[in-house]
Structure 1
Amino acid sequence: MTLHENSTQTKRGFVQNRKICGVTFVQASKSISSLLLPVMLGIFTVVITVNQQNATKQQREEDQKAAEENRRVERDIAAERYRDDIFDAYIKGIGQLFEKYNGSLISNRVPMTLARAKTLNIFRRLDPQRNIRIIRFLHESEQLSGTIEQISLDLSTAELPGIDFRHLAIYRKQLDNISLASTFLSNATFINVGMKHVNFSRTRFNDSSWSSAQLENAEFTFAELHN
């Protein structure tokens, strides 16, 4: 065999081998692609599903928080409405007693007993802001006299937390002629309040603030101050 023939045969074998290798590579590529495509689709599906689940969970949590906040607001509104209603009912009831007993709750035992029961009951059900309004109402109607000569509505045993007596004082400075004898006052504020003819005998004070308060003719017999 001549050199030329050998060269030609070698080239034919090389081309044939390349062709065989090329076919093998393409087939392998197709096989790999056919295997990878489902895997990639599966991974993509899992990622999308997880993201959707996370988004759904987050939205559900946000909806729950919003619903809880709405319920809290509704409860607060209902509680405020309830307090307003019982406050108005108390004022109306006491007003009827005033009309029936000629403008005085302390003229005899019947209106005094009724007013005491109503007032102690309402104190337990209301907040400090409304309780101070009740005390102001009774004080301005002269039912809580702080002088020995006058009878005062008996509010003994009343528990009154968080009362700021500056809201009772004229211009938040002066509070005269009031009796809260034998009551329990916790976290009460008397800062910068001047007081004359006040009766706090047998009253128990817990954590009260008296800075710059001025007292004149004040009765504190058997009172207890705890800070």
Structure 2
Amino acid sequence: MLTDVEQRNKASRQKLLSLWQVWQWPIFALGIIAVFIWSQWQQEVQNLTINQQQQQAAQLVALDQQHETALQNYLQTISDLMAHDKLLQAPNGDAARTVAQARTYEIFRTLDPARKATVLRFLNETRLINNDYHIVALTDVDAQKASLAHIDLSDTALTGCLLKGADLQGANLSNATLIFVNFQGANLQGADLHSADMHNVDLTGANLQGANLKDVQGLNDSQLARAKSLAGATMPNGSLHS
């Protein structure tokens, strides 16, 4: 015979078993519901992430299209001014020059670095920033981080242009007017700067490795000391920097 204690223990086990039999399905159902809710939440998070990525991609595409449209409109406007208003021969104060200058400042505030490089090439090829014509001024024009490797900007007027962080590796800047140009952090490795006017240029952090600085004007030791590298550069006096 079972003792009273054993009987009570047996009764307790039977009661617990009965409770488990009653609650096991509700508990199981709650577990299924929890898993379903968690799965739905994960799916919502994933969908939200995908939607955000798609929206960001669409915005980038739209912005790129806006930049391209702005660039083409600018090129067309300046070309029209040259063809119909004789922009290259326009005197100071002429309406054509005023429009060209205003549109140039505007386009440099609008475009990405790659397209800013396109504008600089266009202005150079059309001689609008040539030292002999100097129709469009680039003072305070923002060409920071522009991709200008191997560009030919020889004999151009770049006074006051902001070229901070620009890639000018191998660029031809010989005989250019570079007064007050900001070259901070620019890559001028292998650039040809001979006979350029470099009064008051900022070379802080600029890479001038292998650059040709022979016969430059207005460049002093204090400016050169701020450069990141002068290794292998041809100095203003013709000597080779070690």
Same fold by TM-score greater than 0.5? yes
Among candidates 180, 202, 207, match of residue 185 of structure 2: 207
Identify unmatched segments of 5+ residues in structure 2: 2-10, 206-242
Q: 1:192 to 1:88 in 2, by over 3 A?
A: closer
1:147-162 matches, within 5 Å, as 149-162=132-145
Q: 1:37 to 1:105 in 2, by over 3 A?
A: farther
Aligned residue number for residue 95 of structure 1: 79
Find runs of 4+ consecutive structure 1 residues off by over 3 angstroms.
27-35, 105-108, 149-152
Q: Are the equivalent residues in 2 in contact too, given 1:105–1:115 (CA < 8 A)?
A: no
Deviations 1:44-76 (A, max 9, x none): 111101101110110110011011111111111
TM-superposed CA distance for 1:212, in Å, is: 2.4
1:1-227 matches, within 5 Å, as 34-102=18-86, 104=88, 106-110=90-94, 111-146=96-131, 149-166=132-149, 168-169=151-152, 175-227=153-205
The aligned amino acid for 1:48 is I
TM-superposed CA distance for 1:155, in Å, is: 1.8
Higher helix share: 1
The aligned amino acid for 1:45 is A
Structure having the higher Rg: 1
Q: Are the equivalent residues in 1 in contact too, given 2:147–2:168 (CA < 8 A)?
A: yes
Q: Are the equivalent residues in 2 in contact too, given 1:105–1:153 (CA < 8 A)?
A: no
Cα-Cα RMSD: 2.5
Q: Are the equivalent residues in 2 in contact too, given 1:182–1:200 (CA < 8 A)?
A: yes
Give me the whole-angstrom Cα distance separating, in 2, the residues matched to 1:185 and 1:194: 15
Give me the whole-angstrom Cα distance separating, in 2, the residues matched to 1:211 and 1:98: 35
TM-score (normalised: structure 2): 0.72
Higher strand share: 1
TM-score (normalised: structure 1): 0.76
Deviations 1:23-42 (A, max 9, x none): xxxx9999776533221102
Deviations 1:156-195 (A, max 9, x none): 12121102322523xxxxx422221112221022223343
SS in 1 for 2:174: strand
SS in 2 for 1:36: helix
Using CA pairs below 8 Å that are at least 6 residues apart, which structure has the higher relative contact order?
Answer: 1
